[in-house]
């Protein structure tokens, strides 16, 4: 009695495959991969925003919700043992400041928390909602996984006449997971960068038209 060569080969390789998979899932578990600032910045294109330089002394406020940092929500079982922290605080400040400097010649920005009240004489009050960052990793082939990150960033602009204009951005980016799932941070960083870029562009368009 004999077995075909391909069946014997698959049977022999099966324990090896199981061992490799087990080692990947156990020895590389519980790592933390933070967003990469340089990769985030590479997707933000402030250079595309022309200088408008509206004349006058303008005042604006930036109200940020407390939930602008945390860990990405992991969907599915692949790479789920890892943590992917993110932080929007400084990026949002830089984005709003840059856009205001592009639009206005002179502008004073007041940054407030969600519990504080903005001054009544502001020309614009900018509000940033809590962000949502999700990551889903899945196998493409037996030893090759892909991570897809989705960043949702919303907010609004309220002018001096209480007219509200909404901002909504959702960006998705994919990256190879890599042997230790570190590629998830690449995907997250890219999606965050694109979301900030989209948020900045929408904010710029609102301010130059109002």
192 vs 115, higher pLDDT: 192
3-class SS at 207?
Answer: helix
The structure tokens listed for 79 are 């790479």
Segment 151-210, tens digit of pLDDT: 999 999 999 888 999 999 999 999 999 878 899 999 999 999 999 999 999 999 999 998
- Of all residues in the chain, what percent carry a pLDDT higher than 90? 56
CA atoms of 60 and 42, how far apart (whole Å) = 27
Answer whether 198's CB lies under 8 Å from 169's CB. Answer: yes
Single pTM value for the model: 0.82
């Amino acid at each position: 009695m004999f077995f075909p060569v391909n069946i014997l080969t698959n049977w022999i390789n099966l324990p090896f495959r199981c061992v490799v998979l087990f080692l990947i899932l156990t020895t590389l578990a519980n790592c933390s991969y933070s967003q990469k600032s340089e990769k985030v910045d590479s997707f933000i294109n402030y250079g595309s925003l022309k200088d408008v330089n509206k004349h006058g002394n303008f005042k604006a406020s930036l109200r940020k919700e407390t939930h602008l940092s945390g860990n990405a929500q992991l969907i599915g079982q692949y790479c789920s043992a890892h943590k992917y922290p993110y932080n929007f605080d400084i990026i949002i400040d830089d984005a709003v400041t840059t856009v205001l400097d592009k639009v206005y010649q002179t502008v004073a920005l007041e940054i407030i928390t969600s519990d504080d009240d903005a001054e009544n004489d502001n020309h614009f009050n900018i509000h940033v909602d809590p962000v949502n960052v999700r990551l889903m990793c899945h196998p493409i082939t037996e030893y090759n996984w892909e991570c897809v990150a989705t960043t949702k960033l919303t907010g609004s602009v309220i002018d001096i006449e209480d007219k509200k204009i909404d901002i909504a951005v959702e960006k998705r980016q994919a990256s190879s997971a890599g042997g230790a799932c570190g590629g998830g941070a690449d995907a997250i960083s890219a999606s965050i960068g694109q979301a900030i870029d989209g948020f900045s562009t929408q904010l710029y368009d609102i301010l130059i038209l109002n």
